[in-house]
A and B are shown apart, each in its own frame.
Chain A
Amino acid sequence: MNESLTASRQPPTTKKIWALLEEVLDPEVPVLSILDLGIVRDVRVDGARITVTITPTYSGCPAMSAIGTDIRLRLLAEGYPDVVIKNQLSPAWTTDWLSEAGRRKLVEYGIAAPVPGTATGHALKLFGQDTAVRCPLCQSENTRLINQFGSTACKALYQCQDCREPFDYFKCH
Chain B
Amino acid sequence: MASSHSHPLFDYLLQAADTSLVLGHRLSEWCGHGPVLEQDLALANIALDLLGEARSYYQYAAELEGLGRTEDDLAYLRSAVEYRNPLLVEQPNGDFAHTVVRQFLFDNYHYHLLKALQASPDATLAAIAEKAVKEAAYHLKWSSEWLIRLGDGTDESRRRLDKAIATLWRYQDELLAPTPAEAALQALGVLPAYHDLQPTMQAHAAHVLAEATVPAPTGPGYQGAGGKLGRHSEHLGYLLAELQYLQRTYPGLQW
Min Cβ gap B129→A in Å is: 9
* Chief secondary structure at chain B's binding surface: helix
A157–B41 Cα distance when bound, in Å, is 11
Q: Which residue of B lies closest to A151 (CB)?
A: B41
| Contact (A153, B137) CB under 8 Å given A59-B132, A148-B42 | no
Q: Are A60 and B38 in contact (CB under 8 A)?
A: no
Q: Which of A38-46, A103-111, A120-128 contacts B (4 or more CB under 8 A)?
A: A120-128
In the complex, A20 has a CB within 8 A of chain B: no
| Contact (A150, B49) CB under 8 Å given A59-B56, A127-B145 | no
Set of chain B residues within 8 Å of A148, measured between Cβ atoms: 42, 138, 141-142
- Using a CB-CB cutoff of 8 Å, which residues 84-123 of chain A contact chain B? 89-93, 120-123
Q: Are A153 and B45 in contact (CB under 8 A)?
A: yes
- Using a CB-CB cutoff of 8 Å, which residues 127-173 of chain A contact chain B? 127, 146-151, 153, 157, 173
A41–B17 Cα distance when bound, in Å, is 27
In the complex, B22 has a CB within 8 A of chain A: no
Instruction: Determine which residue in A123, A126, A173 has the highest number of CB atoms from chain B within 10 A of its CB, and name it.
Output: A123
Min Cβ gap B42→A in Å is: 4
In the complex, B52 has a CB within 8 A of chain A: yes
Q: How many residues of A contact B (CB 8 A)?
A: 28
A124–B140 Cα distance when bound, in Å, is 8
Q: Are A126 and B135 in contact (CB under 8 A)?
A: no
A56–B137 Cα distance when bound, in Å, is 18
A120–B111 Cα distance when bound, in Å, is 13
In the complex, A5 has a CB within 8 A of chain B: no
Set of chain A residues within 8 Å of B137, measured between Cβ atoms: 120-123
A62–B211 Cα distance when bound, in Å, is 37
A93–B46 Cα distance when bound, in Å, is 18
25 intermolecular pairs with C-beta atoms under 8 Å apart = A59-B51, A60-B49, A60-B50, A60-B52, A60-B53, A89-B124, A89-B127, A90-B123, A92-B131, A93-B131, A121-B141, A123-B111, A124-B140, A124-B204, A126-B144, A126-B208, A126-B211, A146-B38, A147-B41, A148-B42, A148-B142, A149-B46, A149-B142, A153-B49, A157-B38
